[in-house]
Amino acid sequence: MRIAWGVLLACGLGCGAWAQQAHVGGIYTCIDGQGRKLTSDRPIPECNDREQKVLNPSGTLKQKVGPSQTAAERAQQEAKEKQELEERNRVTEERRRDRALLVRYPNKALHDKERAEVLAQIAAVSKAASTRLVELATQRKKLDDEMEFYKKDPAKAPLYLRRQVDENTQNTAVQQRFIVDQEEEAPALGCRRRVQVGRASRGPAQLNTARGLGAGIRPAWRAASR
């Protein structure tokens, strides 16, 4: 009898402990798609597509568990989070460039001075390229005069002469392309500089706003130009 009572006592204690552990995680309850109220000691599969309430053993609300996401929903959520991260990085980089512009161009006069220097450099290299084109044209005339002897059959011209003609053609094309690039660079530079001036002029306001200091402060050189 003592053994039997011992077994029953151990079983009772074990079952009590099991029942207590079953409720440690809380009681899950929900209304499924058919309107049935379901209750379980673990997440309810029938309610994976909807919110589930987790109750304490006393019946009070412990927390709410959102619906489980499908693979497509998770992919969509990850794409959204990635896009938000990229946008935050873009804003951070833009603010960094604004601060760099403020350091590099503390006033409009310095900005205009550097712009004039760059334009002068563009004009100088364009002039040098034009001079080189004149030299190549003079050289080409001499080569054409020599090739005149082989007009009927240019393939009979000496190899060195044909190479010089090819090099002259290539160098001329390079210089012409370079001049065109410089002519396009000057207006593009002016456009970029205007954008930089605009960014520099609004930079302090943006930075102060980000720091909670207000957006009404303008750089002195910007205010003076009004």
CB atoms within 10 A of CB 162: 16
**Is-contact 69 81, C-beta < 8 A?**
no
Q: Which residues are CB-contacts of 22 (< 8 A; sequence separation ≥ 6)?
A: 41
Intra-chain end-to-end CA distance of the chain, in Å: 105
Q: How much of the chain, in percent, has pLDDT values that exceed 70?
A: 71
- 5 token code pair: 């009572």
What pTM did the predictor assign?
0.40
CB atoms within 10 A of CB 53: 17
Give the start-to-end residue ranges of the domains of the chain.
Answer: 25-68, 105-224
Mean pLDDT of the chain: 76
Sign of the dihedral defined by the CA atoms of residues 182, 186, 188, 189, in that order: positive
- pLDDT tens digit string along 157-207? 999 999 999 999 999 999 999 999 888 887 776 666 666 666 655 554 444
Task: Say what the pLDDT of residue 66 is.
Answer: 81
**Is-contact 95 166, C-beta < 8 A?**
no
Task: Say what the pLDDT of residue 78 is.
Answer: 84
Looking at the chain, the number of H-run helices and the number of E-run strands are 5, 4
